[in-house]
Amino acid sequence: MKKNSIAVFFSKDVNVKGDNEYFDFCDPNIFYLTGVDQANIKLIMHKNSKNEIKSYLFVQQSTKFLETWHGKKLSIVQSRSISGIDNVYLLKDFEDKFDKLSKKIKHLYTFEHKMFDTCLNDYKNFIKKSKRKLKGVSIESSAKIISKLRQVKSSEEITQLQNAMEITSEAFLHVLKNLKKLKNEAQVSALLSFDYIRNHTKHSYEPICASGANSCIMHYVTNKDNFKKNDLILIDSGCEINNYKNDISRTFPVSGKFTKRQELIYETCLKVQKYAISIVKVGMNFRDLDEAARKFMSIELIKIGLIKKKDYDKDEKIVNKFYPHSIGHFLGLDTHDLASTLVLEEGHVITIEPGIYINKEKIGIRIEDNILVTNEGPVNLSKSIPKEIDEIERIMNN
Ligand SMILES: [Mn+2]
């Protein structure tokens, strides 16, 4: 932050649909900065002319109504102890405090990012009002600063991801061991939920349990179709601990055995995945990684005859027909985490997830691991989840 500046973050209120509540994770930025995971809170960070920083946290006052219907809100004392911020106030004091603090500032940082839900009416109105009120103050986005911080994971954050991975891994293994007995996508989805929830975690995102032709739909979440003989099932799922998210994909044969054709496509995808992981290193641009993986994929798809070399030479985009997405994304408090830079640094966590989708053959394969970037090379956080064909078949048929 620049001298004489203020950064302001709001978290969402509890979502209500009909008469039911949806407890969305409050706000990744506020959680990152304060450790408080509660809806409807506000944060001001103030840097004065002497480079001194003070933070102010505003929390909702517990009322009889809230306690009856939603449960107790964190008290000021609790919020202080969780956040380490001395200056904790009630929400109703926000405006006063902001007006006082903003008198001498030259810059106001607001969080606006195209990828994220900043469509809080409250927050939008606040920005609008500030623009009107604060003459001569430059209004800037804090996205770049906060992304830079969030992108590099501390060892505590990596531990959260690893702890979650133990449970994600347990769930995938549980599915693998039982898959031959299961009859449909819903049962796979239920088994994942069973393991996540009984281990006090939750889904990082809506799981994808896509069998047969459904596996060629990238964001399939219907998860209800019955298995047909020789179907593959593509499972894209993960749990989160303290809001730190896993994001794993595996593809298994529901019968316990890959057909020869499925085996060929699967091995091709796995080869590309292993290659992409192997070239991950500090200093590499994610775009170059994506490019190299796509090139490797193209060569492999030509080798197995899925695309013709002469067609590829004419138009490299032909690969997109079978591999329509990129090699992966950054991961953390958001499944598609903020990234201030595409150049990999120690502590970045990314997914590596090539896929091959052949609609007319009802074959969709994606293999996705979560990779920690270190100076010593890539560390596969999800290596305990089987992806070799012989291992998958051995576990399924045991
Ligand atoms: Mn992913």
pLDDT value at 22 more than 60: no
Alpha carbon of 154 to ligand 1 centroid (Å): 21
Is the distance from CB of 190 to CB of 175 less than 8 angstroms? no
Alpha carbon of 335 to ligand 1 centroid (Å): 7
Is the distance from CB of 169 to CB of 382 less than 8 angstroms? yes
Residue 170: name the closest of 368, 336, 386 by CA: 386
Q: What is the pLDDT of residue 17?
A: 58
Alpha carbon of 78 to ligand 1 centroid (Å): 35
At 39, the pLDDT band (50, 70, 90 cuts) reads confident
Calpha distance 122→58 (Å, rounded) = 14
Alpha carbon of 286 to ligand 1 centroid (Å): 15
Alpha carbon of 29 to ligand 1 centroid (Å): 21
Alpha carbon of 19 to ligand 1 centroid (Å): 32
Alpha carbon of 348 to ligand 1 centroid (Å): 15
- What type of residue sits at position 293? A
Q: What is the pLDDT of residue 4?
A: 96
Q: What is the pLDDT of residue 119?
A: 53
Tell me what the pLDDT averaged over the chain comes to. Answer: 94
Q: What is the pLDDT of residue 18?
A: 59
**114/276: higher pLDDT:** 276
Alpha carbon of 325 to ligand 1 centroid (Å): 10
Alpha carbon of 249 to ligand 1 centroid (Å): 8
Alpha carbon of 133 to ligand 1 centroid (Å): 42
Alpha carbon of 42 to ligand 1 centroid (Å): 30
Q: What digits encode the pLDDT tens for the residues 175-204?
A: 999 999 999 999 999 999 999 999 999 999
Alpha carbon of 39 to ligand 1 centroid (Å): 26
Alpha carbon of 380 to ligand 1 centroid (Å): 14
Alpha carbon of 245 to ligand 1 centroid (Å): 10
The domain at 5-150 falls in which architecture?
A: 3-Layer(aba) Sandwich (3.40)
Q: What digits encode the pLDDT tens for the residues 52-104?
A: 999 999 999 989 988 898 888 899 999 999 999 999 999 999 999 999 999 98
Q: What is the pLDDT of residue 40?
A: 86
Calpha distance 36→182 (Å, rounded) = 40
Alpha carbon of 368 to ligand 1 centroid (Å): 7
At 208, the pLDDT band (50, 70, 90 cuts) reads very high
Q: Give whole-number Cα distances, 360 to 216, 229, 364, in Å.
A: 9, 16, 10
Query: Does CATH place domain 155-397 in 1.10.10.60?
Result: no
What tokens appear for 62 in the block?
């517990």
pLDDT value at 23 more than 70: no
Alpha carbon of 381 to ligand 1 centroid (Å): 14
Alpha carbon of 244 to ligand 1 centroid (Å): 14
Alpha carbon of 122 to ligand 1 centroid (Å): 31
Alpha carbon of 107 to ligand 1 centroid (Å): 36
pLDDT value at 224 more than 80: yes
Q: What is the pLDDT of residue 111?
A: 87
Q: What digits encode the pLDDT tens for the residues 104-154?
A: 899 999 987 665 555 567 888 888 899 899 989 999 999 999 999 999 999
Alpha carbon of 333 to ligand 1 centroid (Å): 13
Alpha carbon of 14 to ligand 1 centroid (Å): 27
Rounded mean pLDDT, 224-237: 98
pLDDT value at 223 more than 90: yes
Alpha carbon of 237 to ligand 1 centroid (Å): 9
Alpha carbon of 247 to ligand 1 centroid (Å): 5
Half-sphere CA count of 288, side-chain side, radius 13 A: 10
Alpha carbon of 366 to ligand 1 centroid (Å): 10
Tell me if 5-150 shares its fold with 155-397: no
Question: In angstroms, what is the C-alpha Rg of the chain?
Answer: 24
Alpha carbon of 193 to ligand 1 centroid (Å): 18
Alpha carbon of 165 to ligand 1 centroid (Å): 14
Alpha carbon of 236 to ligand 1 centroid (Å): 8
**Domain definitions of the chain by residue range:** 5-150, 155-397
Alpha carbon of 153 to ligand 1 centroid (Å): 18
Alpha carbon of 48 to ligand 1 centroid (Å): 41
Alpha carbon of 132 to ligand 1 centroid (Å): 41
Calpha distance 219→207 (Å, rounded) = 9
Rounded mean pLDDT, 360-378: 98
Q: What is the pLDDT of residue 20?
A: 58
